[in-house]
Amino acid sequence: MIAMGTDPVVMRPEGRTLWLDDFTGVKYNMQPKNNIKKNIIWTFISLVLAFLTIHMVLKNGKNTSVKDLIEVISSSNKIYFALGVVASAMYVWFEGVAICSILKSTNHSKSNLKGLLYSASDIYFSAITPSATGGQPASAFFMIRDGIPAGIATATLVLNLMMYTVAILVLGIVSIIISPGAYLGFSGFAKFLICLGFVALSILAMLFYMLLKKESLIFVPLDKVITFLHNKRIIKDKDRKLSKLERIRNDYKTYSSLISGRKRVLFLAFIWNFIQRASQIMVPMLIYASLDGNEKGMSLVFSKQCLITIGYNFIPIPGGIGISDYLMIDGFMEMMGETMAFNVELISRGVMFYICVSISGIITLIGYLVGRIRK
């Protein structure tokens, strides 16, 4: 199940984890400190990966250093640079808008500020966990806390993930139309990653569609998990838990059938996800423009970044750290030279990933603490 198939990463105010507990009534004797420790470990691993990646990029960039980057940013076109920062912020905002647009088709409509919290938590935990869907339990936690039934929350997240994936693939096709030669400018290994990414994301999109249409793919395995845990005497009250799971399954089935048959809901979910992904992909293009890049080159940078996103998005590394950096430098060097490529890559990643994730983490923490205080 997308909303709970990864390791528990979010603590509930009561001190228990959001995982099978919130969907089936199964309680684990996991202390809050264990989950906090796990989050700290993954955050530390992500920081180490980020540090090593930046260090290697700076080391390989013959004419690039922290001092040089500061000077480059100081002398950049501030309008384009500011637009790049705004585009990165739009990436966080429009995921929340997409989620809220889906929820509007139910009796659980939420404000876009709530959507921002769902989005920020997703982005933050996806960035510090090795799973591309690592942020889904976090989004589910806040949605359930806001009174959205678990089945509806799960169906919403599955649909949003499907449209998120489809948007990336469509942008890849758009990039080829805009700049037919964009793909040819990558090295052999980078081309392989892009092709593999296209295949992997296509399979994922179909999987999400199947999950939306066939709830048995989610709930039959969960049924077996509960039965197994009961047989091992880990849990009690199996019948009550299976009954609760069945209620959630009915909610999921009813809502997924409803939204999958409403073209307007699907169309809006796709459009908002398309805008969200395009906003992030525009960041390197705008940073390139701020560093005196030419207008013709801007469209090529955008097209290459679309393909780069496909090339690293499916890889189970926190935030695609390392792989995304490699693909960006590999794709940009041919068209703008080594020094410019390193500058654009480092500044763009700083804006659209490191700063974006940090702000998302702050929003998530504030949202969690505010909810806890209210309780």
Kindly report which listed range (204-213, 236-245, 251-260, 323-332) carries the lowest average pLDDT score: 251-260
Amino acid at 283: V
* DSSP string over 24-85: H-------HHHHHHHHHHHHHHHHHHHHHHHHHHHHH-TT--HHHHHHHHHTS-HHHHHHHH
Kindly report which listed range (42-46, 186-190, 226-230) carries the lowest average pLDDT score: 42-46
Report CA Rg, the chain.
21
- Residues 6 or more apart in contact with residue 240 via CB below 8 angstroms: 25
pLDDT of 63 > 90? The answer is: no
User: What pLDDT band is residue 32 in, cutting at 50, 70 and 90?
Assistant: very low
Return d(Cα 291, Cα 179) in angstroms, integer: 21
Query: Rounded mean pLDDT of 149-167?
Result: 92
Phi, psi of 372, deg, nearest 5? -70, -40
pLDDT tens for residues 295-319? 889 999 999 999 999 999 888 777 6
User: What pLDDT band is residue 130 in, cutting at 50, 70 and 90?
Assistant: low
- Residues 6 or more apart in contact with residue 58 via CB below 8 angstroms: 64, 65, 66, 342, 346
The reported pTM is 0.81
Return d(Cα 69, Cα 342) in angstroms, integer: 10
Could you tell me which of 63, 61, 62, 42 has the C-alpha nearest to residue 53?
Answer: 61
Return d(Cα 370, Cα 62) in angstroms, integer: 47
Could you tell me which of 73, 84, 143 has the C-alpha nearest to residue 291?
Answer: 73
